Amino acid sequence: MQDEWTEKYRPKKLSDIVGNEEAARALRRWADSWSKGKPRRKAIVLRGDPGTGKTSAALALAHDMDWDCIEMNASDHRNAASIRKVAGAGAAGQTFSATGEFLVSSEGRRKLVVLDEADNLFGREDLGGAKAIVETIRESNQPIVLIVNDYRELTRKSPAIRNLADNAYFSRLTRQDVARVLKGVSAKENIEVPDEVLDRITENANGDMRAAINDLQMLVEGRVSLVAQDSEVVGKRNQLKELNAALRDMFGADTAKKARDATLDLDMTPDDLEKWIEENIPREMLSPDDLAAAFDFLARSDIFLGRTRRLQYYALWSYAKDLMTGGVALARKHGPRPYIGEYRFPGYFIVLSRAKGPKAARLAITSKMSSYFHAPRRVLATAVLPLLSVMVKNDRELLLNLIRELGLDEGDVAFLMGTDPDDKFVEGIMTQAKGATDSDDDKGNAKPSDRAKRSAHPF
C-alpha cells in the first residue's frame, strides 16, 4: 500500500503554505515574539475549516524555528489527567528533545506543543480537559498551538482562551490553489491526470486540500495514468463527510445498538455499507485478534446479504446490519483506538468504475460491427474483437478501412489500440481517415455507403 500522500507532500516550511499566507505570517510573528523572552500570549489558536493547512502550518513552524514538537489530539485525550500528562509535561520550562538532548529555554531552545482538535473537548467524556488546557497555557514556559475548526465553541466553553491566546484564521482554499497543488503532486508521482478529473476533484473537495489529495491518491493507486471517466468515482464531499461521521461513531460504539444506530440515517444499502466497513477495518483494528474477529463478523454478515439477494427476502438485511455494525464494533478488545481523519474509499467501487469505461467502449464498437459483419455482439466481443485489436496495431490500412466503413470515432479507435482517445496516434489516424473521405467526396467518387455495398468486408 502506498504512503499517505497528505503526509508525503505536507509543506515543510511556512513559505510552502498555499492560500493562507497571511495566517502563516501571523503565526510566524507570534513565534518570533518568543525570541524576546516569554510573551504575554503564550499560545495561538489556528482556526478554520478542515483541510485548510492548520496542522501543516504548525509543523512547518516548528521546522522553521528549529523547535522540537509534541503533537497531541484532544479528541483522543478528553480528560484533565491526559492533557496534563502530555501537554503539561511538554510545556515545562526545561525539557528534552526527541533525541534526549536537554533544551534550555534561556538559550532560546523551545519545544512546540501542538494540541489538535482542541474544540472537541465538549462531550460527556470531557472530564476537566478544557480547564486543563487553560491551566497549561497559564503555567507554560513553552509555545502552545491550539488547532480548532470551531473557534466560537472553543471560547464559549473556555472564555479565558480569548485573552490567553492569539489567533490566526485559515480560510478555505480556492479551486485554483487546490488544482495547482494536485498538479504538482501528479508531476512528482509521474501520473497523468486529465483536466476533467482534476476539475471534479477540486470541485468536490470544496477548499479542503487534504480531501483533494486523498481523492487523487484513491484514484491513481496502482496506476500511471487516469482517463476522464475516472472522475465518476469521486463522490460528493458533503455525503462523504456524513458517512465519515457515521463510520467514526459506529467503530467507536460500546454497544451493538449504538453501532447500528450510527448508520441508520445513511442513504446507503447494506451491501454498499459493508464495502465501506470492509475497506476500513484494517485501519481501525490494530490488534491481529481484533482484526480477525471483525472480519469474522463481516463474513457472517455477507452470508445474510447473499441470502437476501438470492431469496429477495429483505427482512434478512436486519441481521446483516447487526453483524456488520455491532459485531464489528464490539470485536475491538485490545489497545487504544487509532485516530482516523478520513475513511478510505472502497477499492471495490474503484474497480467497478474502471470497468465501466472499457465495457461501454466494447458495447459501442460491437454495436457498429454487428450489422456490418452480420454477427451477434457477444460473438464479436469474444471471438473477433481480441484478434482485430491485435491486427489493427500492425496494419494501419486495415484500421483506416474500419474507421471509414464502420464510422468509428476516437473512443472506438482508442479501445482497439489500447490507448486514450486524446492520444496523438488516435488524433492522427482520425485526421487521415477524415481527409481521405473528404478527398473522395470532392472527386465525385462513391460515398462510404456505396463502398460498403461494393465490398463485403473492409479487409
d(CA 409, CA 429): 11
CB 233 within 8 A of CB 344: no
Shared domain for 43 and 96, answered yes or no, is yes
d(CA 353, CA 331): 32
Shared domain for 311 and 426, answered yes or no, is no
What are the tens digits of pLDDT across the range 52-111? 899 999 999 999 998 888 877 655 444 445 555 554 455 454 454 445 454 544 444 678
Burial of 426 (0-12, 13-18, 19+ CB in 10 A): buried
Average pLDDT over residues 143-159: 82
Shared domain for 224 and 269, answered yes or no, is no
d(CA 43, CA 87): 12
Which pairing describes strands 95-96 and 102-103: parallel, antiparallel, or unpaired?
A: antiparallel
The three cell numbers of residue 72 are 497531541
In 49-158, DSSP assigns E strands to 68-73, 95-96, 102-103, 111-116, 144-148
pLDDT level of residue 25 (50, 70, 90 thresholds): very high
Cα–Cα nearest to 234, from 208, 198, 269, 209: 198
Determine the pLDDT at residue 299.
95
pLDDT level of residue 394 (50, 70, 90 thresholds): confident
In 124-195, DSSP assigns E strands to 144-148, 165-170
Shared domain for 103 and 190, answered yes or no, is no
Domain count, the chain: 4
**Domain boundary at 310, 345, 380, which?**
345
Shared domain for 282 and 398, answered yes or no, is no
- CA geometry: angle 191, 238, 124, nearest 5 deg: 120
Determine the pLDDT at residue 122.
46
Find the domain containing 193 and state its range: 175-235
CB 345 within 8 A of CB 218: yes
The three cell numbers of residue 211 are 480531501
The predicted model scores a pTM of 0.53
Q: Would you put residue 4 in left (φ > 0), alpha (ψ -120 to 50) or beta?
A: beta
What are the tens digits of pLDDT across the range 335-351? 778 877 678 878 776 65
Shared domain for 160 and 204, answered yes or no, is no
In 117-242, DSSP assigns E strands to 144-148, 165-170
What are the tens digits of pLDDT across the range 296-335? 999 999 999 989 888 888 888 889 999 999 999 999 998 7
Phi, psi of 190 (to 5 degrees): 55, 45
CA dihedral 219, 59, 80, 37 (to 10 degrees): -170
The three cell numbers of residue 15 are 513559505
Give the domain CATH number at 30: 3.40.50.300
AA letter at 419:
T
Residue 242 belongs to a domain: no
pLDDT level of residue 51 (50, 70, 90 thresholds): confident
CB 239 within 8 A of CB 215: no
Shared domain for 102 and 181, answered yes or no, is no
Residue 240 belongs to a domain: no
Give the domain CATH number at 198: 1.10.8.60
Name the residue with higher pLDDT: 13 or 341: 13
Average pLDDT over residues 139-168: 84
Shared domain for 23 and 107, answered yes or no, is yes
Shared domain for 22 and 70, answered yes or no, is yes
Cα–Cα nearest to 143, from 254, 230, 296, 32: 32
Shared domain for 18 and 164, answered yes or no, is yes
The three cell numbers of residue 272 are 454498499
The three cell numbers of residue 179 are 488544482
